[in-house]
C-alpha cells in the first residue's frame, strides 16, 4: 500500500516509556506488526488486555484492504479499474475520499487524490531508482484532476478529465485515486476511537511514524516524540514534542526518496509538473486533534511552502501547532506546542 512507507526511516522517534515512575498503574501492553507496508506499534496501558490490541490491528488490516491502491479488490482498486463506471464502496472510503477533496480545495489543487497514475509511474515503494520519461509524466498528468471525482451516496465515479489520446488509449484516460497521503491518519483516528470505546485511557498508536496519542504516559507525564533531523542518521533529531491526547504527523523530502547525479527525488509529487515538489520546506511536523487533518496539512506544507502553509494553518480546523524545517536549515514554529530543542533542553512554545 502506498501509504508513505519508510518502515526503517521513521520521521519520528518515540520515547515511549522512559522515565515512568511510581505513578504507573495497571499493565502496559505493546505490540508491533507489519501492516501498511511499515512497522505499526500500538502501546496501551491501564486496565487493558491483549484482545484490545488484536482488535485494533484487525481494524488496521480491514481499512488497509479498503484503501490500498495496489491490493486487488480494494475499494480504491475497484474504482481505479472501473473504466469510469460508478462503484459502491464502504462508508469509510467515502469519508476518506471526501476529506481528500477538502484538502484539494484547501490547497487550490496542489493536494490532489487523483494523482494515482503518476504515483504508480514513479513507484517509490519499489526500491528502484529511476526517473520516468517526460512523455510518461505528461501522459499521467493528463489524468490528474480532482474535479472529476463524483460522490453520490456510497457510490464513487471518476469521469474523464481530458479527451486527448493516451499511451494505450481506453481506460488509461481515466484518473486513478491514491489516498496514500492521508490514509494512515484516518486509520490512526479510527484505531484511537476503538480503543477509547473500550475504555483505554492511555495509548500511543504509531503507524510507521505517524503518531496518535490517547491521554498521557503511564506515569502521567506527556508522551515525548522526537522530530527527526532531515537527512540525518536514524537517531539524529532536532528536538522533542511533549504531547497529550493529540496526533503528531510528519512529512518530509528525506523519506521514500533516491538520488541521481546528486539530485534528490522524493515521493511528494507536484500535480502541476509531475515531478517531486519543490518548496522551501523539507520537513513538516504537524500537531492536530485529528491525525487525518495532520496528514493533509503536513503534505500541503511541503507542496506549498512555509508562507502559504502558515496561512492554511490559521484556518485549518483542529490545528494545534507545527514545526517546519526549511531547506536553509531554519526551524519555524507555529501555534501552541511544547518543543524541547536539542542541546540545552530548552522548552519553546
Residue extents of the structural domains in the chain: 12-64+200-348, 70-173
Angle 5-7-9 from CA coordinates, rounded to 5°:
100
In 106-246, DSSP assigns E strands to 149-152, 155-158, 202-207, 210-214, 223-228, 237-243
pLDDT of residue 173: 78
Domain 70-173 CATH superfamily: ApbE-like superfamily (1.10.3980.10)
pLDDT of 100 reads: 98
Query: CB of 24 within 8 A of CB of 219?
Result: yes
Cα gap 218→204, rounded to integer Å: 11
DSSP state, 4?
-
Supply 21's cell numbers.
515512575
Where the chain has pLDDT below 70, the residues are: 1-26, 161-172, 342-349
Helix axes 183-197, 291-304, angle to 10 degrees: 160
Say if 12-64+200-348 and 70-173 have the same CATH topology: no
pLDDT attached to residue 88 = 98
CATH of domain 12-64+200-348: 3.10.520.10
Strand 281-288 versus strand 202-207 pairing type: unpaired
Amino acid at each position: 500500500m502506498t501509504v508513505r512507507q519508510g518502515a526503517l526511516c521513521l520521521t519520528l522517534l518515540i520515547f515511549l516509556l522512559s522515565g515512568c515512575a511510581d505513578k504507573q498503574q495497571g499493565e502496559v501492553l505493546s505490540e508491533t506488526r507489519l501492516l501498511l507496508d511499515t512497522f505499526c506499534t500500538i502501546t496501551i496501558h491501564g486496565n487493558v488486555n491483549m484482545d484490545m490490541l488484536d482488535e485494533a490491528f484487525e481494524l488496521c488490516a480491514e481499512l488497509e484492504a479498503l484503501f490500498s491502491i495496489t491490493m486487488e479488490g480494494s475499494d480504491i482498486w475497484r474504482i481505479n479499474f472501473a473504466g469510469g463506471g460508478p462503484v459502491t464502496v464502504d462508508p469509510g472510503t467515502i469519508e476518506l475520499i471526501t476529506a481528500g477533496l477538502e484538502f484539494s480545495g484547501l490547497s487550490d489543487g496542489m493536494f490532489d487524490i487523483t494523482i494515482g497514475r503518476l504515483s504508480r509511474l514513479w513507484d517509490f515503494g519499489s526500491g528502484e531508482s529511476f526517473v520516468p520519461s517526460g512523455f510518461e509524466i505528461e501522459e499521467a498528468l493528463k489524468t490528474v484532476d480532482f474535479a472529476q471525482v463524483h460522490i453520490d451516496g456510497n457510490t464513487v465515479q471518476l469521469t474523464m478529465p481530458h479527451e486527448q489520446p493516451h499511451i494505450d488509449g481506453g481506460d488509461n484516460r481515466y484518473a486513478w485515486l491514491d489516498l496514500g497521503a492521508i490514509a494512515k491518519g484516518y486509520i490512526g483516528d479510527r484505531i484511537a476511537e476503538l480503543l477509547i470505546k473500550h475504555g483505554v485511557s492511555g495509548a500511543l498508536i504509531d503507524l510507521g511514524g505517524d503518531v496518535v496519542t490517547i491521554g498521557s504516559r503511564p506515569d502521567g507525564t506527556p508522551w515525548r516524540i522526537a522530530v527527526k533531523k532531515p537527512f540525518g542518521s536514524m537517531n539524529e533529531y532536532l528536538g522533542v514534542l511533549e504531547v497529550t491526547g493529540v496526533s503528531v504527523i510528519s512529512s518530509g523530502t528525506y523519506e521514500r526518496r533516491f538520488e541521481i547525479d546528486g539530485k534528490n527525488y522524493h515521493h511528494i509529487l507536484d500535480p502541476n509538473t509531475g515531478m517531486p515538489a519543490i518548496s522551501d520546506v523539507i520537513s513538516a511536523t504537524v500537531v492536530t486533534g485529528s491525525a487525518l487533518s495532520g496528514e493533509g496539512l503536513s503534505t500541503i506544507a511541503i507542496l506549498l511552502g512555509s508562507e502559504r502553509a502558515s496561512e492554511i494553518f490559521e484556518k485549518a480546523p483542529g490545528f494545534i501547532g507545527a514545526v517546519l524545517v526549511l531547506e536553509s536549515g531554519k526551524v519555524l514554529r507555529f501555534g501552541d506546542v511544547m518543543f524541547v530543542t536539542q542541546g540545552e533542553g530548552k522548552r519553546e512554545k
